[in-house]
Amino acid sequence: MNPETQARIKKMIDDNKIMVFMKGNKLMPQCGFSNNVVQILNTLGVPFETCDILADQEVRQGVKEFSNWPTIPQVYLNGEFLGGSDILIELYQKGELQQMVEVALAS
């Protein structure tokens, strides 16, 4: 990944408490896994930003290297990589995600 792409990814993560790299956007997810993440975050009623990796091939590949995680979507919370759809579903079902999000948004 080139330094410019790495800097762009880092800036998006740093500028947003909850950042989701996904296929599509929060208004129109383009895959089921991305839709799962959007639905969970909408259910929690929290603000989040998305980056459509389908529209930017450099970010699509770069974010996988950045997180050392091979799949999309990827969720960052307060600058830290949280995981993808399966991890978010698991945290949500256990009731842990809401608490993590509240702490992140309060900081």
* Digitized pLDDT (tens) for each residue of the chain, 107 residues in all: 899 999 999 999 999 999 999 999 999 999 999 999 999 999 999 999 999 999 999 999 999 999 999 999 999 999 999 999 999 999 999 999 999 999 999 98
The confidence score (pLDDT) of residue 107 equals 83
The confidence score (pLDDT) of residue 32 equals 96
Continuous segment of H or E residues that includes residue 86: helix 85-93
Q: Which two tokens stand for residue 17?
A: 């408490």
> pTM of the entire structure?
0.95
CA distance 61 to 48: 22
Domains of the chain: 3-106 (3.40.30.10)
Is cis: bond before 73, omega within 30 of 0?
A: yes
Nearest to 51 by CA among 42, 38, 32: 38
The confidence score (pLDDT) of residue 1 equals 86
